[in-house]
Amino acid sequence: MADPAPAVRIGTSGWSYPQGRGTWNGVFYPVAPGSRSPRGFDELAYYAEHFDTVEVNSTFYRVPSAATTASWVRRTPPGFEFAVKLHQQFTHPAMHARSTGDLSGTVTLTDADAFKFALAPLADAGRLGPLLVQFPPSFTNDGAAQQYLAWLFDVFRDYTLALELRHRTWSDAPDDTRALLAAHDAAWVQIDEPKFKTSIRQDLRPAVGGVFYLRMHGRNAAQWWDHNASEDRYNYLYTSDELEPFAARIEEARRLAKKIYLYMNNHFEAKAVANAAMITDRLGLDVRGTYPDGFLERYPELRGRVTPASRQSLF
C-alpha cells in the first residue's frame, strides 16, 4: 500500500496587523480599524478557525517568553502548527547590532539555548513546525557562510530548519546548495518576490523525501525598495492565474515531499488571507471558517470559495 500523501499546511506570515494602512482590523478581523479588540476577542484563536498553521515573524525581532508560546498552544486547536522565524541575532548581525548596541556580531550557545527554551512549550506539545532561518540578500555563498551554516546546523540539529537564502550565488550552484541542505534534512525555502540582479533564482522543485517550504511575498516591485512604509511592499494580491503554477508545484510536492508548508506574506489589508484561501480551494482542500461580508466585497475572487459569515447566521 502506497504511503498517504503528506498534509498540505497553508497559512499566512503572522496574524497580528493592528496598525497602519494595511491593518487587518475591519478587513479580516471584526474589529474597527484603530480601535482595541473587544473584550473576549482573540486574533490568534479567530485566525486558527480558518487555517491550521501560521508563520511567526515576531520572534525575529524579540525572543518570546515561554509563557507566551505556551499561550499560543492554549489558544489554538490540537494539530495547529507554528513555523517560527529564528531571531535576527542568528541571521542579521548588523541589524541586531543597531537595535541592541552589541557590536560584537557574535552569537553563542547561550543565545541558542535561550531561543530553544522559548520554543519548548510548542515543541513539547508537538505544535512546532520548521524554524525559518531567513538570511539577508548580503549573505552570499562563500567559505565563511558555509562554516557558519555548519555551526547553525549542529546547534539546532534537533529541529527542522528551513533556510531562506536570497543571494543568487546560492542558486548559481543549485546542486551544491541542495546537497548541503539535504545533508542536514533542512528545507531550501522557495520564495516568490520581485527579482533584481542579485536575487536568487529558483525552480520551486520539491526535494524528494524532504520538506517543501514556500513563501510568497507578492510582486510589488515598484514599492519593494521605494516605499513610505515597509508594509507597502506587501501590497499585492495574486490572481488565480498567478497562483496556478504554485498550485501545480504543490501537487507535485504531494507526491515527492515529506511535509509541505505554504505561507503567504503579502499581508497588506489581509491580502495574504485572501490568497491563502484561494489556493486552498484550488488544491481541493477544506476552506475552513467563515469570512466577513466586507472581506468578500473587498476580495470578490473569494465568492463561491469560502463561507460568508452572514450565511452561517441563517442556520
pLDDT above 70 for 94: no
Residues 130-161 pLDDT 10s: 999 999 999 999 999 999 999 999 999 999 99
Residue whose C-alpha cell is 475572487: 301
Region 87-97: mean pLDDT is 79
Note whether 69 and 127 are within 8 A (CB).
Answer: no
Helix (H) or strand (E) holding 250: helix 240-256
Contacts of residue 121, defined as CB under 8 A and 6 or more positions apart, other chains included, come to 66, 69, 70, 72, 73
- The chain-wide mean pLDDT, for the chain, equals 92
pLDDT above 50 for 314: no
Contacts of residue 256, defined as CB under 8 A and 6 or more positions apart, other chains included, come to 206, 207, 208, 209, 212
- Confidence band for 310, pLDDT divided at 50, 70 and 90: confident
Residues 15-35 pLDDT 10s: 999 989 999 999 999 887 666
pLDDT above 60 for 123: yes
Region 256-267: mean pLDDT is 97
Query: What is the C-alpha to C-alpha distance for residues 274 and 144, in angstroms, rounded to an integer?
Result: 41
More confident residue, 36 or 177: 177
Closest CA to 107 of 66, 63, 163, 161: 63
> How many CB atoms are located within 10 Å of the residue 285 CB?
15
pLDDT above 60 for 313: no
CATH topology of domain 8-312: TIM Barrel (3.20.20)
pLDDT above 90 for 312: no
**What is the DSSP pairing of strand 307-308 with strand 259-264?**
unpaired
Query: What is the C-alpha to C-alpha distance for residues 192 and 238, in angstroms, rounded to an integer?
Result: 11
- Confidence band for 170, pLDDT divided at 50, 70 and 90: very high
Bridge partners, 203 (sequence order): none
Query: What is the C-alpha to C-alpha distance for residues 297 and 303, in angstroms, rounded to an integer?
Result: 9
Residues 60-80 pLDDT 10s: 999 999 999 999 999 999 999
pLDDT above 70 for 315: no
Bridge partners, 54 (sequence order): 82
pTM (global) more than 0.85: yes
pLDDT given for residue 209 in this prediction:
87
More confident residue, 2 or 240: 240
Q: Taking the CA of residue 75 as centre, how many other CA atoms within 13 Å lie in the half-sphere pointing to its CB?
A: 19
pLDDT above 70 for 104: no
- Confidence band for 3, pLDDT divided at 50, 70 and 90: low
Contacts of residue 67, defined as CB under 8 A and 6 or more positions apart, other chains included, come to none
Sheet containing 211-216: order of strands: 8-12, 259-264, 211-216, 190-192
Query: What is the C-alpha to C-alpha distance for residues 235 and 182, in angstroms, rounded to an integer?
Result: 34
pLDDT given for residue 37 in this prediction:
65
Percent of the chain with pLDDT over 70: 91
Percent of the chain with pLDDT over 90: 84
